[in-house]
Amino acid sequence: MAQLSSRLLPFLPLVRNLHTCAFGNYIAVGTLDPEIEIWSLDVVEAMYPDMILGRPDKTAAHIPMPLGTGKKKRKKTKHRAASAAYHVDAILSLSWNKTHRNLLASASADRTVKLWDLTRDPTINGDGGENEGALRSFNVHKDKVQAVQWNETEPTVLLTGSYDRTVRTFDSRAPDAGVGAVVGADVEALRWDPWEAHGFYVSLENGLVLNFDAQDADLGKRQVSLVTSRDLGVGKVFSTYGHQMTHSR
């Protein structure tokens, strides 16, 4: 019989992602802190996470970095120096790789996307050299990265969306060869199409939902129609031109 357990976290989670593998059941949690906590769901009333991905001694909220001097100090703080080994700002999105289950992708307000290998020791000594911290760090956006997701059919391919009003899809082994598109508003969420491996949807701050074809070298945008039903109780129905299937949400 499955047993439920509760976790008391210091901050309200911004993002969480469940994961099941041969070693057990885990949840990755991201908050306003730059660290990612990995909790085992098989341990009841655990006091501490099984693993912390990051460098809390360098990025802890209690370490002040004020701007200005004298009595009239500005409340705004300096941005922490970026690092390829760990995030330095809030975690906004997490995605487990469903094929290579030891891999976790994370997106952060520090403008980077990072790839973590949970079979490696997450301990970082110094500034994070070889075999320390994140496996890879991708600088593919110019503002906060709001969303990241692995492609389930092509397990090395990532999809990302940012406040720089762009979306990008790229192979994690060769990120410079990826393609991107300007979407006209901040990205709120994105999802790969479950019926079409190379298609994906993007929802924007202005309320629009866009559909793209990742096989198009210029990320061709396809028209999406949206109907909200008040009487049928089916919520919102999306349909894309050229598709024979209607997607219900």
**Alpha carbon separation from 74 to 59, 69, 70, 78 (Å, rounded):** 20, 8, 10, 10
Cα separations (Å) of 41 from 48, 117, 118, 140? 12, 19, 16, 33
CB atoms near residue 110 (< 10 Å): 25
HEC readout, 140-156: CCCCCEEEEEECCCCCC
Which of 97, 102, 107 minimizes the C-alpha distance to 36? 107
DSSP 57: H
Nearest-angstrom CA–CA distance, 228 and 6: 36
Q: How many residues does the chain have?
A: 249
In order of start, what are the domains of the chain with their CATH numbers? 15-60+82-222 (2.130.10.10)
Rg (CA), the chain: 20
* Confidence grade of residue 21 (pLDDT, cut at 50, 70, 90): low
Q: Where do the DSSP E strands lie in 82-241? A: 91-96, 103-108, 113-117, 136-138, 145-150, 157-162, 166-171, 174-182, 187-192, 199-204, 209-213, 220-222, 224-228, 236-240
Per-residue model confidence as pLDDT tens digits over 160-207: 999 999 999 999 999 988 889 999 899 999 999 999 989 999 999 998
> Taking all residues of the chain, what is their mean pLDDT, rounded to a whole number?
77
pTM of the model as a whole? 0.76
Average pLDDT over residues 99-119: 93
Helical (H) or strand (E) element with 59: helix 56-59
Residue 60, both tokens: 């802890």
Q: Above pLDDT 90, what percent of the chain? A: 40
Buried b (16+ CB within 10 A) or exposed e, 30-43: bbebbbbbbbbbee
Report percent pLDDT > 70 for the chain: 65
Tokens coding 156: 């090395």
